[in-house]
Structure 1
Amino acid sequence: MRFLPKLFPRRWLKDESGAVVVDFAIMLPVFLMLMLSSVEMGMMTFRQTMLERGLDMAVRNLRLGLYSSPTHAAMKKEICRFAGFLPDCEDSLRLEMRPLNLRSYTTIPKEADCIDKSEEIKPVRQFTNGGANQLMIMRACIKISPVFPAVGLGGQVQKDGNGDYSLFSVSAFVNEPT
């Protein structure tokens, strides 16, 4: 211990001019990752909210009888119109509408399909207009590209072969009698 003052003179021990640079260099990547992840999470939340709003508004109009017999393309167009800020909405959105049996919910597949742009196009899973007083479920799935695909949350979220992540929304309604 007696030889330490000879190796490190007192003036070096009191000098703190490089201490800020070292702290900054260590904390900058962590701070940037945290900041970029918060932007990514904000965009995910905003897009999920807009998908929920679009589906709810389209189902509301469907429930009120504004569409006599809705088609898959017409409902996609309506959802995208109400959602507003979903990029490439009509090409990336996939819908499923089917009647539900009140006695058994096991007939519904656990996950809704999403469009994977890196694979071949799959046909619509099921889009059935139910009868009067029939419980219906509509599921929507859209694929969205991350804002920062390689940093923070954008690098950690589960992606498909094209590098997009999935957002899901579900709505249930009862067909009104005519």
Structure 2
Amino acid sequence: MTTVMKRMRGWLWRKCREEDGASTIPFVIIVPAFLVLLMSSLEQGILLLRHVMLEHAVDVSVRDLRLGTWKDPTHDEFKKVVCSRAGIIPDCENVLLVELRPIDTTTWSPLNTGPVCVDRASPMEPEDMPEFEDGEGDQIMLIRACVKFDPVFPTTGLGFYLPKDNTGAYALVTMSAYVNEPDLGGS
């Protein structure tokens, strides 16, 4: 029995000293970390691109409201305009919600809720829709837009750590404030 053990120990010792496949070990250690970094960079790039396009589309669309050239817009009309200007948001009209409301300058009361986003798990009821009121002249207005996206790599890197809802989507929110132009011909 001892000769079998000696042979086995000798064989194991020779295998441990061999340098065949030595370059594989650093490759196996470094490549997963590099791939996570690459996937996180791609996720971050897409996230930022979508956010910048949403910010730009809302800003350009709000200009018409700010100047008073667009009277009594509806939520759906405004959403269509934002989506046509955003370009890179997939299924934009179904994942975008816009809230537009005046700010009370006598009390300066803060917003009582966070941004309202689409609930992709169930259809939106009319009472769940955010406020959309274009306000009067010289009134301070707040606009918030929320879009939901699925991460490109939901189980790796940044996509894993993004705060997600029950459907696995993360929200991008843009917010802005502006003052309506004074009414023409007012007293």
Deviation at 1:107, TM superposition (A): 4.1
Q: Counterpart of 1:28 in 2: which secondary structure?
A: helix
- Among 174, 177, 184, the alignment partner of 1:172 is 177
Aligned to 2:4: none
Q: Counterpart of 1:166 in 2: which secondary structure?
A: strand
- The answer to whether structure 1 residue 53 and structure 2 residue 56 are counterparts is yes
After TM superposition, the score normalised by the length of structure 1 is 0.87
Aligned to 2:74: 71
Structure 2 regions of 5+ residues with no counterpart? Answer: 1-9
Aligned to 2:41: 38
Structure 1 regions of 5+ residues with no counterpart? Answer: 1-5
Measure the CA separation in 1 of the matches of 2:66 and 2:48: 27
Contact in 2 for aligned 1:59/1:171 (Cα 8 Å): no
Deviation at 1:110, TM superposition (A): 4.0
- The answer to whether structure 1 residue 19 and structure 2 residue 8 are counterparts is no
Q: Counterpart of 2:177 in 1: which secondary structure?
A: strand
Deviation at 1:117, TM superposition (A): 0.6
- The answer to whether structure 1 residue 151 and structure 2 residue 156 are counterparts is yes
Answer with 1 or 2: which has the greater Rg: 2
Measure the CA separation in 2 of the matches of 1:35 and 1:143: 23
C-alpha RMSD of the superposition: 2.0
After TM superposition, the score normalised by the length of structure 2 is 0.83
Measure the CA separation in 2 of the matches of 1:139 and 1:25: 46
Give, as a single letter, the amino acid of the residue that structure 1 aligns with 2:58.
L
Contact in 2 for aligned 1:141/1:168 (Cα 8 Å): yes
Measure the CA separation in 2 of the matches of 1:120 and 1:78: 22
Deviation at 1:149, TM superposition (A): 1.4
Aligned to 2:104: 101
Deviation at 1:168, TM superposition (A): 0.2
Percent identity for Structure 1 against Structure 2:
41
Structure 1 runs, 4 residues or longer, greater than 2 Å off: 6-9, 15-19, 102-107
Give, as a single letter, the amino acid of the residue that structure 2 aligns with 1:140.
A
Question: Measured at CA, do residues 116 and 8 of structure 1 come closer, stay the same or move farther in structure 2, by a change above 3 Å?
Answer: same
Aligned to 2:141: 136
- Among 55, 60, 65, the alignment partner of 1:62 is 65
